[in-house]
Amino acid sequence: MTDPRRTEHVHPQYTHLDTLPTTELVQAFADDQLGAVQAVQKAGASIAAAVDAALPRLERGGRLVYAGAGTSGRLGVLDATELTPTFSWPAERAVPLIAGGERAIRQAVEGAEDSFDLGIKDAQAAQLGPDDILIGIAASGTTPYVLGALQAAREAGALTIAMANNPGAPILNAAQCGILLDTGPEIISGSTRLKAGTAQKITLNTISSALMVRLGKVYGNLMVDVKATNTKLEGRAVRLVQHATERDEATARTALEEAKGSVKTAIVMLELGLKASEAEELLGRHGGHARAALQEKT
């Protein structure tokens, strides 16, 4: 019997994959990944709808909660983890749930993804509320753990978003915002860590980054809420201030020191000739949006 899930089909174009010379093998893998980009592009309207639905909840203080198993779960962990250094997003407001717990990040935990009840239990333990958003991720779209987490989230009144790589997948129907990433058969049959996983990664990047833009953590296309936790990021913060204000390096560094490392505050200080405390107060009145703060004074 043929599995109806397209991600489980054998790709007809690559039946002699193991015979290809290395250069052709590498090119085949690269070419097949283009399918991930195309799938995300086709899902653009659904992704935008999910962002618009999630935004007001985050503005009220809600959390992004991710639920997945295997590769999908690890991608959720990655997206949640990267929000803090990139946007100074509070770590407690990005909660990854992965079937099997933290051990599953590095090794398979047998049976965990097959437990609907474990998904319910983990989501309930996260104490979801009406302002939270749960993003369920599963290439197959049938993972019981994710279905359980989505059910618990709905019962808690949270917004539910689901992404899957197969048309008609159950998790798409189990969520308020379903995102189909129809990537089709994998170049290596069933290995959804390939273009299915790539499409999921692009989509997670897009959702979380778009939300951060809407929340005022980006000015123009500058990452003005970056958390400078190492030498590389400290240098990046200086360059961001320089670029936004057209000031020299010494001036940018001085402003950043007075702003306690806040790129956004330093920009407002330099552009409007304000003290750090004044810039912070102005930004506060505008919900942290640098453009709105600057426009008030111009």
What pLDDT, in 10s, does the model give residues 92-120?
A: 999 999 998 888 788 777 677 879 999 99
- Rounded CA-CA distance 46/177 in Å is 7
CATH number of 6-214: 3.40.50.10490
Annotated active-site residue in 113, 186, 271, 280: 113
Band of residue 50 on the pLDDT scale cut at 50, 70, 90: very high
Backbone angles phi and psi of 28, in degrees to 5: -65, -45
**Nearest Cα to Cα of residue 7 among 175, 200, 205:** 200
Confidence tier at 292 by pLDDT (50, 70, 90): very high
Give me Rg for the CA atoms of the chain. Answer: 22
What value does the mean pLDDT take over residues 82-87? 94
Percent of the chain past pLDDT 70, that is, above it, reads 97
Instruction: Indicate if the alpha-carbon torsion angle 114, 115, 120, 125 is positive or negative.
Output: negative
Annotation marks residue 155 as catalytic: no
What pLDDT band is residue 15 in, cutting at 50, 70 and 90? Answer: confident
Length of the chain: 298
pLDDT value for 24:
95
Q: Where are the domains of the chain?
A: 6-214, 231-296
Of 179-183, 203-207, 223-227, where does mean pLDDT reach its minimum? 223-227
248, 282, 251: which is closest to 268 by C-alpha?
282
The Cα–Cα gap between 75 and 97 comes to 11
pLDDT tens digits, one per residue of 120-154 = 999 999 999 999 999 999 999 999 999 999 999 99
Amino acid identity for residue 8 in this structure: E
Q: Is the pLDDT of residue 1 over 60?
A: no
For the entire predicted model, the pTM comes to 0.92
CATH code for the part of the protein at 231-296: 1.10.8.1080
Alpha helices, H only, the chain = 22-42, 44-59, 70-87, 116-125, 144-155, 170-173, 195-214, 231-245, 249-258, 263-272, 276-285, 290-296
Query: Is the pLDDT assigned to residue 54 strictly greater than 60?
Result: yes
Give the pLDDT confidence score for residue 298 in this predicted structure: 57
Q: Which of 8, 82, 258, 278 is catalytic?
A: 82
Is 281 known to be catalytic?
no
